[in-house]
Amino acid sequence: MAENLQALLLVCFWVVFLQIPCSARAQELIVSVPENVAVGKTIFTASRLPRTQAGDKAELPCAKMEGDPHGRFNVTENCTIVVANPLDRSVQPVYLLNIRIGVQNTSVKIELTDAEGYPPVYNEKCETPVNPDGKTGDFLYSLAATLEAVKTDGTIWSGKGTYTKLSDIGSTRYRTMLYDDPWMLHTDNSDCNIRYIWYTDAINSLVTMQDLWYNDIRHFTCTEEYKAPKIFFEVILHKRGENITSDMLKQYVPESVVEDKTHNYFLFVSSVYSTTETKTYNCEIPNFRKPVGSAPWANIEYLDIEVKPEGCPAGRYGFLCDKTCICKNGARCHGFNGACKCPPGWKGVACDIPKQDVSITTTPSDPRHIYISANVTFRCTAHHVDVTYMSVRYPNATEKVGFGVTKIDFVVPNIQPTNNGPYTCQVRDTRGNTLNSTFVLNVTNCTPDKKGAECDEVCDCLHGASCGRWVGCVCPPGWTGTRCQTKCPHGTYGKDCLRNCSCQNGANCNPSDGRCGCTDGWYGKNCSKPCLNGRFGWRCQQKCACNNSATCSNVDGSCACVTPWTGRNCDQWQTIASRDEPLLESLIPLGSLVFLVAIVMAILYKTGILSCSAPDAGEEEKILFELRRMEQDLAQSLQPGWLGRWEKKVRHLTPGPLIGEGMFGQVRKAQLRTPRGELAVAAKTVRVEDSQSYRDFYREAAILVAVHQQRNDDCGESNIVRLVGLITKSTEKYILLEYAPKGDLLGFLRRIRNMNGEEGLHGSLLGYAVDIAQALQELGRLRIAHRDVAARNVLITAHDVAKLADFGLARDVYVTTQYVRRDSPGADELLPLTWMALESIETGEYTCQSDVWSFGVLLWEIATLGQDPCYDGRTQLSFRQMVGILRQGKRLAMPEGCPDDLCQLMKECWRDDPDERPTPGEIEEKLLQLRRSLFSHYEMETVV
């Protein structure tokens, strides 16, 4: 009996030790679950309770008593146990839940078993950026494709497209392919790559696959420079039961999946993307054996794909950013595997379990942003600890102590390399345990833009170059020199100008990426291929008119006649008549060929870049939609049908000599056939087919239409260049403007300076300024900002009237040096920095008041007879420097002999506060007054 009692006591002791209250009938049930079990899953039901208790449960509800301090499980009234929060074996492998059923207690032991690859590892090296809200893609990357393709008629198509959203894909066919067909990811956390595998044998892709197969296009690869293929594409003719011959397929797609396929064709795409770096891949695409499907494409000359990790919006992760992060307590979530990086004081796969911890952090928090001479704040914090004593130890062995506090802040002012070393925070808790944490300070860099041993020299780098403490400016590709002020020498490009351009036949070479801009008559990556099929000119757009076996120059279309033939037909300009261009559908086979590019092309179609068909109502809507996003007021002032009403026929246009050309567009003098005879016009066209250029194109068109609409087409009086028509229904799109024989104001001013020396102001010049002040009033009434008021954008008509032109299209058509690229990455925009108002530089906002600022610069250009505006004696300034100069109140130096009233007016235009600047109406008033007072004498003489 005594022995029995002893045994019972012993059992009770063990049960107590296991933290289960010793009750009359304690029982233990064991449940084994994998640690990665999903939240919400039921892991235990009442049916597993012994019968008698299951009976009890009906009357007496279940409740969780003990054994789960961090709320991992929910126990329902009917004794069902549900996983309430993510589990993690490394934090706690076993839970002993004590459950009360009626008056009895039961313990359930939950054992977690190991799951492979769980929890996901947070590899900081592979961290993807967090895509800020507002510009979220539904995809971890953005893709940009640059491609040149030859059409069957010999014309060249080239363009660039960028896209960040899979849901943007124009054709539902691609969408279904992408979302419905299987794909999988192999992520490699050690080399920060994602391998994306997509394969299909779906019926709706079969036609395309057969098409490709019979065209001998069975696989192609895209290669990163000097590296192994990274994007791999294969069409496989796979017979059921046969061995798999594709190595890639064997390696990445489970055999069971392949064997399971019922169809013969199998399409396989594998691509490896870096999670950290932007990479460009060059694709080798075989020539087409015959035109693919009904598409007018003969082959693809080159295709480059740029893949840039953009990251997922906060709280999401995965290749498609479709998974929800589980990270709690401010933990950062890894973009590609969802792993959480716990802040101090928290642990567990979701960082939701408190952890006794001590941390030492700094402000700025990223050690890379701690620079010499900064004031750095250190913070020592105890998390979930009952502190009795806390101390901080400096590298020089000084100690700072606190009693009963959980936080100590201290500042090290003017930090220097002598302050480097370990800063240790130590905490003792009420039970006598000690915790500590160490931060090793290693500050070596000067603040950005400073260099030298003492960090007292200014780098002053241009073109967004970074500044190294010992090496000085580290130039971006395409620039060189101590301040990166020099473009790569002719024939070279890239980082440090170390690479040689391969552009031929007079093509210009982009100094940053070496891309060639072919001259008339040539195409191909190096511009080494002459136009084919009797075509000539830029992008082989023109058709030769040579007869009788004459050979036609691919450059200018001139004919070398065969005797006895001679004749004037040999050198005529002939424009291509507008034809019905291919529809989107006919592009699809080509599209699926290049898969990723397909998506890009679909986007190009959507944005109207590729679309060669007539701008129908839908097109007009799309353009309006784009405009509305940019300028609400402008979009509202357009009446329906605005685009169609101005449309002219391309066959009525006879292009003539080039009068302006730049990287983005060109302007030709041209003859337009009208019912009232031939009319000389200036025809502007876009050269680079990217969406920015097209937006600029339609913005200019829209503004001009709006201006004319407002004046009821009474254009005689306007000081805004007269719109003659638009051509948007052909491959080449044109804006047709009145032809101004005297050219632009800047050239005009410089001619005066060259002829007369620095003679000073001229009465008629102020008259031009008055004209432009009137133009600004017109724009003000429509609430449209011009954004680029400058002498180069003012045209002088045959009747000596100055008119405002160039609403953003072809920014470098007339000059190239006055535009600066914004430093910030991503904003790829050329901007006329020295003309821009302070607030436009700082915030990118343009208003009628910011136009007034630029108008002040235009007055300055008039007063100096066309000098380049410069601040501090420098014409090349970065955005930051420019803001610095203007914020200090510095402005352009007043030209010598400038009349006081004129100087005063300029200064008023350059006031910091936009609302304090004069209105265009006031400016006109003042200019007229000034002109009367300065030149009345002179003008009377000339009138007489």
Ligand X SMILES: *[C@@H]1O[C@H](CO)[C@@H](O)[C@H](O)[C@H]1NC(C)=O
Residue 495 tokens read as 């980082």
DSSP 131: B
| Rounded Cα–Cα distance for residues 304 and 144 (Å) | 8
Q: To 5 degrees, how large is the angle CA 249–CA 252–CA 258?
A: 50
- Which residues does 197 contact at the CB level (< 8 Å), separation at least 6? 183, 184, 185, 186, 252, 253, 268, 269, 270
* Residue 445 within binding range of ligand X, rule CB under 6 A: no
* Residue 76 within binding range of ligand X, rule CB under 6 A: yes
Closer to ligand X by CB, 88 or 738: give it.
88
Considering the complex, what minimum distance in angstroms separates the CB of residue 80 from ligand X? Answer: 5
Q: Of 366, 382, 446, 376, whose CA–CA distance to 415 is shortest?
A: 376
3-state secondary structure of 611: coil
- The DSSP annotation for 262-301 comes to -SSEEEEEEEEEESSS-EEEEEE-PPPSS--TT--EEEEE
* Residue 80 within binding range of ligand X, rule CB under 6 A: yes
Q: Kindly tell me the number of DSSP H helices and DSSP E strands found in the chain.
A: 19, 54
| Rounded Cα–Cα distance for residues 679 and 673 (Å) | 6
Closer to ligand X by CB, 76 or 359: give it.
76
Considering the complex, what minimum distance in angstroms separates the CB of residue 867 from ligand X? Answer: 38
Closer to ligand X by CB, 327 or 765: give it.
327
Closer to ligand X by CB, 9 or 39: give it.
39
Q: Which of 91, 115, 374, 715 binds ligand X (CB under 6 A)?
A: 374
- Which residues does 346 contact at the CB level (< 8 Å), separation at least 6? 328, 329, 331, 352, 353, 354, 355, 383
Catalytic residue among 352, 744, 788, 851: 788
Subset of residues 33 to 62 that bind ligand X, contact rule: CB under 6 A: 39-40, 45-46
Closer to ligand X by CB, 138 or 449: give it.
449
3-state secondary structure of 419: helix
- The DSSP annotation for 750-784 comes to HHHHHHH-S----HHHHHHHHHHHHHHHHHHHTT-
Subset of residues 477 to 516 that bind ligand X, contact rule: CB under 6 A: none
Q: Which of 412, 624, 686, 831 binds ligand X (CB under 6 A)?
A: 412
Amino acid at 809: L
Closer to ligand X by CB, 190 or 243: give it.
243
Q: Which of 172, 256, 396, 430 binds ligand X (CB under 6 A)?
A: 396
Going by DSSP bridges, is the β-strand pair 104-113/28-34 parallel, antiparallel, or unpaired? Answer: parallel
Cα dihedral 580, 585, 588, 589, rounded to 10, equals: -80
The interface region with ligand X, picked from 70-78, 113-121, 611-619, 832-840 by CB under 6 A, is 70-78
Angle between helices 920-943 and 900-909 (to 10 degrees): 150
Q: What is the 3-state secondary structure (H, E, C) of 211-230?
A: HHHHCCCCEEEEEECCCCEE
Considering the complex, what minimum distance in angstroms separates the CB of residue 438 from ligand X? Answer: 16
Does the annotation place 684 within a ligand binding site? Answer: yes
Considering the complex, what minimum distance in angstroms separates the CB of residue 708 from ligand X? Answer: 55
Considering the complex, what minimum distance in angstroms separates the CB of residue 63 from ligand X? Answer: 12
Closer to ligand X by CB, 441 or 801: give it.
441
Angle between helices 920-943 and 848-863 (to 10 degrees): 30
Subset of residues 849 to 868 that bind ligand X, contact rule: CB under 6 A: none
The interface region with ligand X, picked from 100-108, 265-273, 371-379, 501-509 by CB under 6 A, is 371-379
Considering the complex, what minimum distance in angstroms separates the CB of residue 418 from ligand X? Answer: 8
Considering the complex, what minimum distance in angstroms separates the CB of residue 322 from ligand X? Answer: 21
Closer to ligand X by CB, 93 or 421: give it.
421
Burial of 416 (0-12, 13-18, 19+ CB in 10 A): exposed
Q: Which of 84, 96, 185, 934 binds ligand X (CB under 6 A)?
A: 84
Q: Which of 6, 19, 32, 78 binds ligand X (CB under 6 A)?
A: 78
Amino acid at 218: R
* Residue 398 within binding range of ligand X, rule CB under 6 A: yes
* Residue 239 within binding range of ligand X, rule CB under 6 A: no
56 catalytic, yes or no? no
Subset of residues 610 to 629 that bind ligand X, contact rule: CB under 6 A: none
Show the site string, 241-280: x = touches ligand X by CB under 6 A, - = not.
Answer: -xx-------------------------------------
The strand pairing partners of 270, in sequence order, are: 197, 232
The interface region with ligand X, picked from 61-69, 382-390, 411-419, 431-439 by CB under 6 A, is 411-419
* Residue 558 within binding range of ligand X, rule CB under 6 A: no
| Rounded Cα–Cα distance for residues 667 and 684 (Å) | 4
Considering the complex, what minimum distance in angstroms separates the CB of residue 398 from ligand X? Answer: 4
- Which residues does 376 contact at the CB level (< 8 Å), separation at least 6? 362, 363, 364, 370, 411, 412, 415, 441
Annotated binding residues, as ranges? 684
Annotated binding residues for ATP, as ranges? 684
Enumerate binding residues for ligand X (CB under 6 A): 39-40, 45-46, 74, 76, 78, 80, 82, 84, 242-243, 373-375, 394, 396, 398, 412-413, 419
Active-site annotation, residues: 788
